[in-house]
Amino acid sequence: MSGQPSPRTMFPGDFAATLRLRHSIIQEIRRFFDTSGYAEVETPLRVPCPCIDIFVDAFPAGASLFLSTSPEFHMKRLLRLNLDRIYQIGRAFRAEEGGRHHSAEFTMLEWYRTGTDYLGIMEETEQLVRRLAEALGPRCTGFSFPFGRMTVAELYGKHAGWDPVTGWNEDRYFRDWADKIEPALAGLGAFFLMDFPAPLAALSRIKQGDPLVCERFELFMNGLEIGNAYSELLDYDEHVRRFEHAAAARRAMGRQPYPADIGFLDSIRLGLPPCGGMAVGVDRLIMALLGLDHINLVQAFPAERL
């Protein structure tokens, strides 16, 4: 064997400093939630239903189980225990994901709070990022507060010339997202993209008084999608319909359909309190805070260094 180091053993320059900053950021995240009355919880990594997103592929994990793509279903079940504020920082897995901003294994922060909706979660998200930015001081650059807010209709009207809320067209929506919207995102700084078209509701509720819009937002920071949040859907029949629709859509795409999460649906049927929740990709958040452009620069052992 040659004396040259393998790419698997090579780390970016001054990587120890980055790992120390990563540690301090995750510590500050925990302090934020702990001092806000949240309880940290743990949920399984091997689950019967990995998600409802038709575009997300999960890793099989034996015995008709999958590696978790998100702790969403199990965390919502815990809300029935009078745990009104819960959060989790843990590993998540998504197959066939790779590139500058994606990793098949990554760290996810997810939290849920009863008695609020997506607007309350939006305010809390900005408070969290502001706390992290203040803790980092001059090491955090590239965006400012307060964050902007823009609806999907406004974003597409400005950069694609049409409104996907009133004239939904799935093919055009995703084509224009790749060709026209994504190139514009980097110039918008940090902002919340909100009020998505109803067909993109996932497990968010439809906005009262406006059946064409769902109560969902995503946080973007300098062009990078950081997190996704909902006013959580509580209607049992609608949940069943959406699980069935997702399974049928995956079959039509030639992908393995996922079973409905029976334990989660039972909890919905028994009744969950009104709540909102947020899922954040921690690696991406750290990238945005530190102004880094590749996920490998914040993960100790991405696939390339295994």
pLDDT computed for residue 99 by the predictor: 82
Q: What's the pTM value of the predicted model, to 2 decimals?
A: 0.94
Q: Which long-range contacts (CB under 8 A, 24 or more apart) does 91-94 make?
A: 91/45, 92/68, 93/45, 93/58, 93/59, 93/67, 93/68, 93/69, 94/56, 94/57, 94/58, 94/69
Please report, for the chain, the start and end positions of each structural domain, with discontinuous segments joined by +.
Answer: 7-305
CA distances from 206 to 37, 72, 238 (A): 29, 19, 11
Fold of 7-305: BirA Bifunctional Protein; domain 2 (3.30.930)
What is the per-residue pLDDT across 189-231, written as a single tens digit (0 to 9) for each? 999 999 999 999 999 999 999 999 999 999 999 999 999 999 9
pLDDT tens per residue, range 70-89? 999 999 999 999 899 999 99
| pLDDT tens-digit map of 238-252 | 999 999 999 999 999
Length of the chain: 306
pLDDT, one tens digit per residue, over 261-289 is: 999 999 999 999 999 999 999 999 999 99
Would the pLDDT of 3 be above 90?
Answer: no
